[in-house]
Amino acid sequence: MPQQGDHGRGDTGRPGGRTRGARRDSGRRQWAWIGAVALLVVAIVTAVVLVRPPDHHDDRTITVRRTAAAAFPGGLAQQPVQDNQAGRREADARAAGDTSTAGRLAVIADQPVATWLTDPDETATRQVVRRVVRDARQQGRTPVFVLYAIPDRDCGSFSKGGTAERDYLPWVRSAVRAMAGSHAVVLVEPDSIAQIHVCERLGADRLHLLRQAVDELTGRGLTVYLDGGNEDRVPVATMARWLRQAGVDRVQGFATNVSNFYRVDQERAYADRLADAIGGDPHFVVDVSRNGQGWRGTWCNPEGAGLGQPPHVTRGTTRLDALLWVKTPGLSDGTCNGGPAAGQWWESYALDLVANRRQD
């Protein structure tokens, strides 16, 4: 150990050297302390960065999304005559000599429209699927199906019904077997996710059931879109979380505006925000069947509504894959504003949609 008198020798023995040396040692100790603290801070920051929980996208397995052209090979198929409701009414009008009505209904009948699968009976559903797939194959185009038979459908409102809880997944499995390998597009249960916002009893059980349905649909040569709701309905962050829980990471994306009336620019802006919130670049489709006049103040048979632009597949330069006619124009939304039961043909309304259609 150094001797006690040695502490003052660093200042060449001049008067006051001991005090200056003490101050110098004190300064050195101060800088050493500051340096130690700085090193500690760096170590803590480094540790925090290293153990920070990963971003909520980092630990997810996300499917590679197809291009629009690959998702809809050949473009959109028209429905077979047996399933084309407007086409059947057009034929009836021509047979009755009412060429004016027939010509107006042809505006609807000549467009590709999605085929809704709503019958809980598995055999009947398979028959529809096989007929539509066969006809689309002859056209060299892509059929679009809508699964719409989830238990507690529409939360008991105008479109209530669906399968029993125990029968839903077998029903989905049966439909999927009939369309497997067809490259069909499948929209899964419109309203099923967005409706949780106002029908709390659906909750986590509904999302779990949809995730199981996704299990049945993936890996079968199909392009699948889940329910994305529409703008001003569910907060984007909430909808994104629900879609991830329902399995959107394993499908092409989501569908918006189904059976609704919002304009394309509004829906695209909403869908892009939702896709950003989901992460992983999901794609989307928008229903434009009746949005030619935009939102009319209600979702249920609004007056003044008109057909939207013709359905078509996009060029694929954005996440928007296609503008579709998902809702069949002319089918009632329910017993509101003078309409018949939900899903029933309402010819006067169909003709009004044609009269008010988007012209540009």
Catalytic residue among 83, 152, 154, 321: 154
H helix and E strand count, the chain: 10, 8
Catalytic residue among 152, 227, 287, 333: 333
pLDDT in tens, 126-144: 999 999 999 999 999 999 9
49/276: higher pLDDT: 276
pLDDT of residue 47: 37
pLDDT in tens, 6-61: 333 333 333 334 444 444 444 445 544 544 444 444 343 333 333 333 334 457 89
pLDDT of residue 59: 74
CB 217 within 8 A of CB 188: yes
276 catalytic per annotation: no
**Tokens in use for 225?**
């879109």
Residues near 321 by beta carbon (within 8 Å), at least 6 away in sequence: 68, 71, 72, 252, 253, 283, 284, 285, 313, 314
Catalytic residue among 83, 135, 152, 191: 191
Q: Is residue 211's pLDDT more than 50?
A: yes
Mean pLDDT of 189-197: 96
pLDDT in tens, 57-77: 457 899 999 999 999 999 999
**Tokens in use for 115?**
């085929």
135 catalytic per annotation: no
Neighbours of 4 (CB within 10 A): 7
Q: Is residue 283's pLDDT more than 50?
A: yes
- Mean pLDDT, the chain, integer: 88
191 catalytic per annotation: yes
Residues near 182 by beta carbon (within 8 Å), at least 6 away in sequence: 133, 136, 137, 143, 221, 222
What stretch of H or E contains 138? helix 122-139
Mean pLDDT of 253-275: 97
Q: Which residue has the tokens 């090193």?
A: 39
